[in-house]
Amino acid sequence: MTGFPLLVLVLLLQLGSALWSLPAPVNLTVSSLNFQHVLRWDPGPGSPPGTRYRIFRGLNRGKMKHFHKSTGETWFRVKLDPLKHHHLTVQAFFNNTTSPQSSSIIFSPSADTTIGPPVFSLAGCGTCIQGNISLPFPDRKQFDPSFMVWWRKEKNDKEDHLETRNRSFILTNLERGAKFCVRIKIKTRLNPNTLLSNWSCTFSSPEEPDTEMLLTGVVSALLVFVPVVLTMVLLCLRYTGFICKRRKARPQALMFLMKGSAGHVTSHQPLPVVVPSRAVRHLVRRSERVQKGIVARFRKFRASVKAAPLRFCAADEPKRRLYRID
> Do residues 186 and 126 share a domain?
yes
Q: What is the pLDDT of residue 169?
A: 94
Residue 131 belongs to a domain:
yes
Stretch among 8-17, 40-49, 151-160, 223-232 having the lowest mean pLDDT: 8-17
- The last residue of one of the domains, among 173, 203, 233, is 203
The answer to whether the CB of 191 falls within 8 A of the CB of 110 is yes
Q: What is the pLDDT of residue 68?
A: 82
Residue range(s) defining the domain that contains residue 168:
119-203
Cα separation, 163 vs 240, whole angstroms = 76
Of residues 280, 258, 282, 256, the one with CA closest to residue 269: 256
> Do residues 148 and 187 share a domain?
yes
pLDDT digits (tens, 9 = 90+) for 75-111: 999 999 888 899 999 999 998 899 999 999 999 998 9
Asked if pLDDT for residue 324 goes beyond 60, the answer is no
Residue 4 belongs to a domain:
no
Residue 54 belongs to a domain:
yes
At 303, give phi and psi (nearest 5°): -70, -40
Q: How many structural domains comprise the chain?
A: 4
Residue 1 belongs to a domain:
no
pLDDT digits (tens, 9 = 90+) for 210-244: 566 667 777 788 788 788 888 887 777 766 766 66
Of residues 199, 168, 166, the one with CA closest to residue 184: 199
Residue 7 belongs to a domain:
no
> Do residues 289 and 269 share a domain?
yes
Q: What is the pLDDT of residue 156?
A: 85
CATH number, domain containing residue 29: 2.60.40.10
pLDDT digits (tens, 9 = 90+) for 166-206: 999 999 999 998 999 999 999 988 888 999 999 999 998 86
Which residues is 37 bridged to in the sheet? 32, 78
Residue 325 belongs to a domain:
no
At 147, give phi and psi (nearest 5°): -130, 130
pLDDT band at 269 (very low <50, low <70, confident <90, very high): low
> Do residues 53 and 130 share a domain?
no
pLDDT digits (tens, 9 = 90+) for 49-62: 999 999 999 987 67
At 105, give phi and psi (nearest 5°): -120, 150
Residue 302 belongs to a domain:
yes
Q: What is the pLDDT of residue 1?
A: 44
Cα separation, 58 vs 109, whole angstroms = 14
